[in-house]
Amino acid sequence: MTTETKVNLLGLNREDMGAFFAGIGEKAFRATQVLKWLHQYGVSDFDEMTNLSKSLRERLKEVAEIHVPEVIMDQQSADGTRKWLFRLDDGNAIETVFIPEKERGTLCVSSQVGCALDCSFCSTAQQGFNRNLSSSEIIGQLWLANKLLGRDPGGDRVVTNVVLMGMGEPLLNYDAVVSAMDIMLEDFAYALSKRRVTLSTSGVVPALNRLKERCDVALAVSLHAVRDDLRNELVPINRKYPIKELMEACRNYLDRDGRRRITWEYVMLAGVNDTEQDARQLVKLLKGIPSKVNLIPFNPFPNTRYQCSDAETILRFQNILINAGIVTITRKTRGEDIDAACGQLAGKVQDRTKRRFKNIEVSQEVV
Ligand code: SAH
Q: What's the average pLDDT block by block, 10 residues per block, for the chain (367 residues)?
A: 77 98 96 98 97 97 97 92 94 94 95 94 89 98 97 90 96 98 98 96 97 95 98 98 97 80 97 98 97 95 94 97 97 76 62 42 28
CATH label of the domain that carries residue 316 = 3.20.20.70
Which pLDDT score is estimated for 366? 26
* 145 in the same domain as 47: no
Same domain, yes or no: 41 and 110: no
Domain count, the chain: 2
Active site residue 308: no
Residue from 267, 269, 303, 357 whose mutation best tests the ligand 1 pocket (most atoms within 8 A of CB): 267
| 82 and 49 share one domain | no
CATH number at residue 23: 1.10.150.530
Q: Is 95 annotated in the active site?
A: yes
**Same-domain status, 222 and 252:** yes
Minimum-distance ligand 1 atom for the alpha carbon of 304: 22
Same domain, 266 and 346: yes
Alpha carbon of 303 to ligand 1 centroid (Å): 17
296 lines ligand 1 (CB under 6 A): yes
Q: Do 248 and 337 sit in the same domain of this protein?
A: yes
pLDDT score, position 338: 75
267 ligand 1 Cβ < 6 A: yes
- Which residues have CB under 8 Å from 298's CB, separation 6+? 121, 267, 268, 269, 270, 306, 307, 308, 309, 343
Are residues 159 and 182 both part of a single domain? yes
Record the pTM. 0.92
Predicted pLDDT of residue 250: 96
Amino acid at the residue 346: A
Dihedral angle computed from the Cα positions of residues 78, 165, 179 and 192, in that order, rounded to the nearest 10 degrees? 60
Number of the ligand 1 atom closest to the C-alpha atom of 201: 8
Whether residue 144 sits in one domain with residue 57: no
d(CA 82, CA 98): 5
Q: Are residues 18 and 77 in the same domain?
A: no
User: Looking at the domain assignment, is residue 293 inside a domain?
Assistant: yes
Q: Which among 109, 165, 293 is the best mutation to test ligand 1's pocket, defined by most ligand atoms within 8 Å of the CB?
A: 165
Is 112 found in the same domain as 13?
Answer: no
Of the residues 65, 80, 104, which one is the last residue of a structural domain?
65
Residue 314 belongs to a domain = yes
CB 50: neighbour CB atoms within 10 A? 9
Residue 265 lies in a domain: yes
**Coil, strand or helix at 173:** coil
pLDDT at 266: 98
Is the C-alpha dihedral spanning 326, 327, 330, 335 positive or negative? negative
Structural domain of 13:
7-65
Domain end position, chosen among 48, 65, 82: 65
Contact by Cβ (8 Å): 296, 336: no
